[in-house]
């Protein structure tokens, strides 16, 4: 019962009689293993949505995430201090925390508008609040199409599907997924997408790209 409540159960080494432990997997759900990617049209609706100030700040930080394709840890604090001139144009100069790699990404108009709106210092939001409020942002923008979600119970070997509004599934992780998918749709080579997103290999990157059947 404790395992069901906490999501995991580690058996002490003393009970096993050797230096190892076992971990019990509990029910989880996923969207067909590929997650969520927003379409360009959905992004335009999010960008133009009329929102309360609380949600507007989250939307603006979300736009930076979408237009850089970075992990939340790398885009949550980006501001004017992270912009440099490169080849005569403004670029984000980002040192990726997970990979230790430095990438330069053009500051497009959406990001320029966000920087200008906050005098170069867009508000920083905790990941927990971001993931909670971005769902509200997407709902206000009308991102409510139903998405099939598969629920898996490994203890009983059961699988079931249900339909969930797309807005309720969006999180910070889908910024990179959306960026990778849109770049792929525009014909950007996998190697260039990988350089920007910071994926360790192409196989991991392929999991992020959401392509309609």
Q: How far apart are CA 131 and CA 127, in angstroms?
A: 6
Q: Are 208 and 177 in contact (CB under 8 A)?
A: yes
Q: How far apart are CA 169 and CA 179, in angstroms?
A: 17
**For residue 205, what are its two tokens?**
């990157």
57-to-24, 98, 131, 191 alpha-carbon distances in Å: 39, 26, 13, 33
What is the band of 205 on the pLDDT scale with cuts at 50, 70, 90? low
The pLDDT of residue 112: 96
What is the band of 10 on the pLDDT scale with cuts at 50, 70, 90? very low
Angle between helices 127-140 and 53-66 (to 10 degrees): 100
For residue 165, give the H/E element and its range: strand 158-165
28-to-10, 11, 108, 148, 173 alpha-carbon distances in Å: 18, 21, 37, 14, 17
Quick one: which of 22, 21, 28 has its CA closest to 4? 28
Q: How far apart are CA 139 and CA 145, in angstroms?
A: 10
Q: Are 184 and 193 in contact (CB under 8 A)?
A: yes
What is the band of 101 on the pLDDT scale with cuts at 50, 70, 90? confident
Q: Measure the N-to-C terminal CA separation of the chain; round to a whole number of Å.
A: 41
Longest dimension (CA), the chain: 65
More confident residue, 105 or 26: 105
The per-residue pLDDT for range 118-151, each reduced to its tens digit, is 999 999 999 999 999 999 999 999 999 998 887 7
Q: How far apart are CA 174 and CA 137, in angstroms?
A: 14
Q: How far apart are CA 181 and CA 197, in angstroms?
A: 11
**β partners of residue 94:** 103
Q: How far apart are CA 101 and CA 113, in angstroms?
A: 27
């Amino acid at each position: 019962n404790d395992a069901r409540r906490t999501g995991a159960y580690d058996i002490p080494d003393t009970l096993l009689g050797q230096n190892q432990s076992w971990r019990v997997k509990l029910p989880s759900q996923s969207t067909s293993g590929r997650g969520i990617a927003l379409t360009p049209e959905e992004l335009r609706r999010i960008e133009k949505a009329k929102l309360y100030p609380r949600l507007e700040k989250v939307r603006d930080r979300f736009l930076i995430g979408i237009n850089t394709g970075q992990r939340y840890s790398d885009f949550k604090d980006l501001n004017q201090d992270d912009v440099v001139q490169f080849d005569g144009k403004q670029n984000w100069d980002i040192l990726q925390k997970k990979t230790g790699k430095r990438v330069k990404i053009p500051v497009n108009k959406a990001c320029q508008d966000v920087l200008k709106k906050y005098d170069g210092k867009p508000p920083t939001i905790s990941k927990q609040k971001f993931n909670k409020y971005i769902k509200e942002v997407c709902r206000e923008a009308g991102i409510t199409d139903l998405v099939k979600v598969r629920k898996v119970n490994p203890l009983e070997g059961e699988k079931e599907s249900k339909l969930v509004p797309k807005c309720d599934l969006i999180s910070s992780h889908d910024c990179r997924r959306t960026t990778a998918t849109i770049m792929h749709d525009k014909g950007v080579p996998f190697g260039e997408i990988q350089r920007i997103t910071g994926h360790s290999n192409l196989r991991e990157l392929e999991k992020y790209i959401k392509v309609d059947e």
